[in-house]
A and B are shown apart, each in its own frame.
Chain A
């Protein structure tokens, strides 16, 4: 057989063998995916579809889930004072969890790094994370109580000691965020410590040789190289802050009408306390859309970071 003959036959033959192999592979792959597919369809996709469906119904208590409401639920949302408060608080939560865990986690990581008791300190800061959020909420409820530790401590320094931390509209959200961050900051810290440890040493040493001060090394080299880890920490924190529930549910003093409401709590309240399932579903849809938007922004930023470090 000449080289030309071979060249003519080989692609066709290879093409057929390839197609057969690919078909067989696809079938095997499908077989392996069936259990996961069933779970995803049954427990993820279907509830989402049903949720969107119910948000357009008048379902309340045991009736109305087959009555079409159009966009009534959404109209009601837009006009609702509670929804406005919950939305505003959620924004505060997201902004706070965009900044605090990263800043605090990074500060802690830099502080503890190469410290003599790094392991011990790391454990201590991580410890709150393993407690049940509701338990933490209860404990901090007493910390913030009118005659609790916080006010008592303030009085030692002659500061105003009659703040009703969890009873005042202007303090409650921030008080709960402090608790939340206190419990959650261990993970960002550990992730950032790992990220720092994994950074290549050479460019940092090269920057030192290039005349950079420690601060310049940090801002020009360490931070940019650490940005993938920072991004992960930001995403985890924002999603955690966005979906925060337990702390608010436990520490919030009464619902609704109090300034501590978040979208998650408001949704839960309307559904499980008020039995307004259609309305609660509409809140859930809004929540879902916001998460989608956050994920989208994250993908864009991720792409930027990847390209910067590529």
Chain B
């Protein structure tokens, strides 16, 4: 059905290459999130799939058909824009029905589909209003409704929720998830927000600088990041990194810690003794004493609190090992004074190792 395949996809704007050869196979009915820092080529990729940008090189196929030369209107895709892109001179009803009307769909069918979308998105009270008379969240729903009524094979979303407040964003996230379950189309969803990506997608694609860094399920990219960039990008607060050295005994020494870190045998392709290595540890795996999970194989140390940020349900603590700062989360928090000395337990079972040169993960079997 509507499987989407990108093969060696390249987009060049003159001398500037925005997308540098992307290969991606998106299964029918799957929900794929494209994430990555600003300017990495997410929108450009999406717009090429939409047919709004020409393809400089490579191939896009939708439902088994190469669509490089096919116009947007014949690709069977619908898009929801970040800016909503509603027709300002039309009522909500006309906005929803425009695509069907110009396609010559029978009036009764137009009415039926608009009614369905109106029902799903609860747009009933606003049907005769202009976009300018709607709130951001309402506009966003109209934009989604406009895509729904076309019953496309593929839905494209370009940061659809980024203009909404946190509460509304959560609400719409749930709506989108329900919608996908109900309509069963293929969805390609661009977002900045990794919470959106993690919760909505069954496949996350992390891009950097026009290239794909890693693609996998949310659990995969979180637990087994392929490189330091992905490790740092997925997860908030972001993973802590330390410069370490491999010891003769196959342990890892961090400057500022007395004991060397044990390494789970057979998990990593260990460099030779004396080689530098980058150690990654998520905030939740450096535990303030009595305020989090008890690590199985801990290394305990004391350090000065440099900064504490109370969030209510947890407090983020910035401290340091040697000269290297790290952030940790204190669950069930107590009052913390800046400058106080605190005991931490570092979970050696949870360390990630990266090659400092290539930044690739040293975990066995993570070759991508």
Contact = CB atoms under 8 A, between A and B. Distances in A.
A220 B101 CA distance: 11
B77 A209 contact: yes
Contacts of B102: 210-213, 216, 220
A202 B99 contact: no
A209 B72 contact: yes
A134 to B, nearest CB: 43
Contacts of B72: 208-209
A54 B73 CA distance: 66
Nearest to A216: B102
A310 B130 contact: yes
B89 A205 contact: no
A220 B85 contact: no
Given A209-B79, A211-B150, A225 B88 contact: yes
A207 B89 CA distance: 13
A308 interface: yes
5 contacts: A203-B85, A208-B73, A209-B50, A211-B103, A221-B87
Given A208-B72, A209-B77, A210-B150, A220 B88 contact: no
Interface secondary structure of A, over-half rule:
helix
Nearest to B76: A211
Contacts of B71: 208
A206 interface: yes
A25 B89 CA distance: 40
A259 to B, nearest CB: 43
Contacts of A164: none
B81 A205 contact: yes
B83 A202 contact: yes
B104 to A, nearest CB: 10
Nearest to B152: A209
A200 B89 CA distance: 12
Interface of A: 200, 202-203, 205-213, 216, 220-221, 224-225, 308-310
A212 B79 contact: no
B222 interface: no
B132 A213 contact: no
A206 B86 contact: yes
A216 B102 CA distance: 8
A212 B88 CA distance: 16
Task: Give the interface size class of chain B.
Answer: 20 to 34
B73 A205 contact: no
B89 A309 contact: yes
Contacts of A203: 85-88
A308 B130 CA distance: 9
Interface in B42-74: 50-52, 71-73
Given A202-B81, A310-B132, A210 B88 contact: no
Interface string B90-109: 00000000110011000000
B81 A206 contact: yes
A210 B142 CA distance: 13
**Minimum-distance CB pairs A-B, first 7:** A202-B85, A210-B99, A206-B85, A211-B73, A208-B72, A224-B89, A209-B79
A88 B183 CA distance: 64
Contacts of B77: 209
A214 to B, nearest CB: 9
A205 B47 CA distance: 10
Contacts of B51: 208-209
Nearest to A305: B89
B257 to A, nearest CB: 54
Given A211-B99, A220-B98, A308 B50 contact: no
Interface string B130-173: 10100000000000001000100000000000000000000000
B223 to A, nearest CB: 37
A200 to B, nearest CB: 8
A225 B89 contact: yes
Contacts of A209: 50-52, 72-73, 77-79
A206 B87 contact: yes
Nearest to B72: A208
A199 to B, nearest CB: 11
Given A200-B85, A205-B85, 17 more contacts: A202-B81, A203-B87, A203-B88, A205-B81, A206-B146, A208-B71, A210-B73, A211-B102, A211-B103, A211-B150, A212-B98, A224-B89, A225-B88, A225-B89, A309-B88, A310-B130, A310-B132
